[in-house]
Amino acid sequence: MNREELSFDDYDETINPAPENTGFDTVVETALSRRGFLGGVMSFGVGTFVLGTTALSTPAGASADRFGFEQVAANTLDTITVPEGFEWKPLTLWGDPLWSDVPAFDEATRGTAASQARAFGDNNDGMSVFNLHGKTLMVVNNEYTNRKLLWGNRPDAQPETDDDIEKGMMAHGVSVFQVTPVDGDWQVMLDSDLNRRITPRTEMDLTGPAAGHDLMKTAADPTGTKALGTWNNCGNGETPWGTYLACEENFNGYFSAEDEAHEVSAELKRYGVSSKDWGYGWAKVDERFDVSKNPNEPNRAGYVVEIDPFNPTSTPKKRTALGRFKHENAEVVIAANGKVVVYMGDDERGEFLYRFVSNGIYTPTGSTEGLLDDGVLSVAKFNDDMTGVWLELTPETTGMSAAEISIHTRMAASKVGATTMDRPEWVAANPAKVEAYVALTNNKNRGVKPNAGGDDTSANGVNPREANNYGQIARWVPDAADHTAKGFIWDLYALAGNPDVHSDAYAGSDNINAGNMFNSPDGLLFDDNGLLWIQTDGAYSNEGDFAGMGNNQMLVGDTVTGEIRRFMVGPKECEVTGMCWSPDRRTMFVGIQHPGEKSGSHFPHGGDTLPRSGVFAISRKDGAVIG
Ligand code: FEO
Ligand code: CA
Ligand code: CA
């Protein structure tokens, strides 16, 4: 087993395998009834794809070209490919200084812990632009670090010193920096008093139902209200009151025990915490990552962290009311009744889709402090008749206290019979219509084995394909156009697939064709024009089931007509993740994460240079608005 070659999920599964499914007959039965169900809704391959049947229907004639670009072809080049008339430039790359006294990134040493702590982190993911008093700030998650590259100057790419391990730790967290246009190009403003690095050592407040609970107390924090740091921040969110939400995803892979035979609790196992980390070695430099010594420390990670970007000395807040799981992003919507709704996916095979609804009402002039601490967390159940319901997680429905629900959220969700999903990644709410979309990236275990909690993962309406290696995008419309309603109706906006290789459901829905096919939708975001941007994080072999798909990419979907066009192709071995726009909407910032994760890229500088993750600015050559 080579830890470097395994994905987060695969490594977790190797350590803590789920039981094999014993109900094969049930799987077949469900698959057969699924065919009947889908027959009335959509057909595959050469058939027609009907987007829904009721409120989701496509109006006739709504087919004007809203894209404003010609689709780019799939490719396997080691560069960014954008449509004719567009161009791209790097804004900041892993290791680029945020202050002028920090040495420039050094390919030979890859820097030190001290330089990395004051430079842009690695493997950026979700990001936002904020504007206040004429200042433009970018806030960017740095999800994880590619250890092969970070320690590639050492024998066998293993850390030699504590500083090597610390450097890896400092490559994680959040980077905050001011940007400004210089000669038409956006640049990072070194030394801005707003620049900030948030790392796994930054002090944070724990707020909401779990704050102060016994499960949150550690030797270093007997109050259970102060945590240190954030890491593995994946997708993001923004609140209408100008704060940034960093979502902690695969937080588990950083914990270990000196004694690898140490057995963790069932609750920690459900989250993939074990005595073996993924190779980061943080417990060697900081005992709080040793679960045998600090078994409650993992309970203090896996949250949504709220950051006030324009106050560089503010203390970030871990909002436990939003639940603890492998958070993807946090899509915030203000419902018609003024309540704050946050949609959130738990990105693991067979885990769930969540919704938080605040008890309080948001008003632009009122206090927002408690809004994300006090509310009701629910989990989605998708019925095969294309209706759905949000199941509340309360002491009454789960038999758990409010604090326990906030800490052991996955167990709470398993108790109420929520629908196990094909790895919920980003959720995006349509600004032009009361509806939302979720990327269900893929799930090779669908119909094969239960989730880590033992919940059934037979194929179902919204996750209709067994061993689903392509993924799908589902959408739902809340009842009565109310994001706080209990019920909704749903359909599938797109089933990714390969119509060149398959002629059944694995060919994809009818809006997928040889020209735009992709796999593993992940990042989702609406632009101001109501177009849905889709980023992928999937197989890039360009062979077999994935032949013709090329590298990971970014596409744009018209949610009215269903049409999807490829806008961009990323470099080799990357995923495309994270996006935001300049205030004038003339520049789109896009994240390129882990180019060359298998050593096959030199992006962006070419030659023999190290591949580096980064933020890239895409604009039209004619300077027009893009999105
Ligand atoms: Fe960090 Fe689920 O992607
Ligand atoms: Ca993702
Ligand atoms: Ca992904």
For ligand 3, the distance from its centroid to the CA atom of residue 110, given in whole angstroms, is: 26
Considering only CA atoms, which of 235, 83, 176, 131 is closest in space to residue 618? 83
Ligand number, closest to the Cα atom of 7: 3
Distance CA 350, CA 451 (A): 5
Per-residue tokens: 113 = 């812990």
Dmax over Cα atoms in the chain, in whole Å? 65
Close Cβ partners of 515 (under 8 Å, ≥ 6 residues apart): 71, 73, 566
For ligand 1, the distance from its centroid to the CA atom of residue 40, given in whole angstroms, is: 33
Distance CA 93, CA 121 (A): 8
Query: Could you give the count of Cα atoms lying within 13 Å of 131 in the half-sphere of its Cβ?
Result: 8
Distance CA 594, CA 571 (A): 10
Per-residue tokens: 601 = 């890229």
Distance CA 117, CA 130 (A): 23
For ligand 1, the distance from its centroid to the CA atom of residue 550, given in whole angstroms, is: 20
Residue 28, sorted as left (phi over 0), alpha (psi -120 to 50) or beta, turns out to be alpha
In the three-class reduction of DSSP (H, G, I as helix; E, B as strand; rest coil), residue 322 is classed as helix
Closest residue to atom 1 of ligand 1, CA basis: 234
Tens-place pLDDT, residues 362-398: 999 999 999 999 999 999 999 999 999 999 999 999 9
- Which ligand 1 atom is at minimum distance from the Cα of 345? 2
Per-residue tokens: 91 = 């804004």
Ordered mean pLDDT values, 10 residues apiece, the chain (627 residues): 63 70 38 33 33 42 74 98 98 98 98 98 98 97 98 97 98 98 96 98 98 98 98 98 98 96 97 97 98 98 98 98 99 98 98 98 96 98 98 98 98 98 98 97 98 97 98 98 98 98 97 98 96 98 98 98 98 98 97 98 98 98 94
Q: How many CB atoms lie within 10 A of CB 194?
A: 17
For ligand 2, the distance from its centroid to the CA atom of residue 471, given in whole angstroms, is: 13
For ligand 2, the distance from its centroid to the CA atom of residue 521, given in whole angstroms, is: 9
* Bridge partners (DSSP) listed for residue 592: 576, 614
Q: In what order do the strands lie in the sheet with 587-593?
A: 86-93, 614-620, 587-593, 575-581
Neighbours of ion ligand 2 (CB under 5 A): 425, 522
Is there a contact between 619 and 181 (Cβ–Cβ < 8 Å)?
A: no
- Which ligand 1 atom is at minimum distance from the Cα of 143? 1
Is there a contact between 317 and 201 (Cβ–Cβ < 8 Å)?
A: no
Distance CA 388, CA 366 (A): 33
- Which ligand 1 atom is at minimum distance from the Cα of 125? 1
For ligand 3, the distance from its centroid to the CA atom of residue 82, given in whole angstroms, is: 22
Ligand number, closest to the Cα atom of 347: 1
Distance CA 512, CA 12 (A): 32
Angle at 125 between CA 239 and CA 184, to 5 degrees: 85
In the three-class reduction of DSSP (H, G, I as helix; E, B as strand; rest coil), residue 470 is classed as coil
Per-residue tokens: 82 = 């954008």
Write out residues with Cβ below 6 Å of ligand 1: 125, 143, 234, 249, 328, 347, 425
Specify the pLDDT at position 19.
55
Ligand number, closest to the Cα atom of 471: 3
In order of 148, 304, 306, the CA distances from 194 in angstroms are 32, 22, 17
Neighbours of ion ligand 3 (CB under 5 A): 522, 537
- Which ligand 1 atom is at minimum distance from the Cα of 328? 2
Per-residue tokens: 220 = 């270093």
For ligand 1, the distance from its centroid to the CA atom of residue 411, given in whole angstroms, is: 21
- DSSP letter, residue 147: H
- Which ligand 1 atom is at minimum distance from the Cα of 235? 1
Distance CA 43, CA 36 (A): 11
Q: How many CB atoms lie within 10 A of CB 258?
A: 13
Is there a contact between 571 and 603 (Cβ–Cβ < 8 Å)?
A: yes
Considering only CA atoms, which of 578, 619, 582 is closest in space to residue 179? 582
Ligand number, closest to the Cα atom of 578: 2
For ligand 3, the distance from its centroid to the CA atom of residue 537, given in whole angstroms, is: 5
Distance CA 86, CA 406 (A): 45
- Which ligand 1 atom is at minimum distance from the Cα of 537? 3
For ligand 3, the distance from its centroid to the CA atom of residue 557, given in whole angstroms, is: 19
Is there a contact between 524 and 427 (Cβ–Cβ < 8 Å)?
A: yes
For ligand 3, the distance from its centroid to the CA atom of residue 441, given in whole angstroms, is: 7
- Which ligand 1 atom is at minimum distance from the Cα of 250? 1
Specify the pLDDT at position 3.
52
Domain ranges of the chain: 3-620
Distance CA 577, CA 579 (A): 7
In the three-class reduction of DSSP (H, G, I as helix; E, B as strand; rest coil), residue 580 is classed as strand
- Which ligand 1 atom is at minimum distance from the Cα of 423? 2
For ligand 2, the distance from its centroid to the CA atom of residue 538, given in whole angstroms, is: 10
In the three-class reduction of DSSP (H, G, I as helix; E, B as strand; rest coil), residue 575 is classed as strand
Give 56-94 as a 3 state SS string: CCCCCCCCCCCCCCCCCCCCCCCCCECCCCEEEEEEEEC
Ligand number, closest to the Cα atom of 247: 1
Q: In what order do the strands lie in the sheet with 564-569?
A: 521-526, 531-536, 553-558, 564-569
- Which ligand 1 atom is at minimum distance from the Cα of 326? 2
Ligand number, closest to the Cα atom of 143: 1
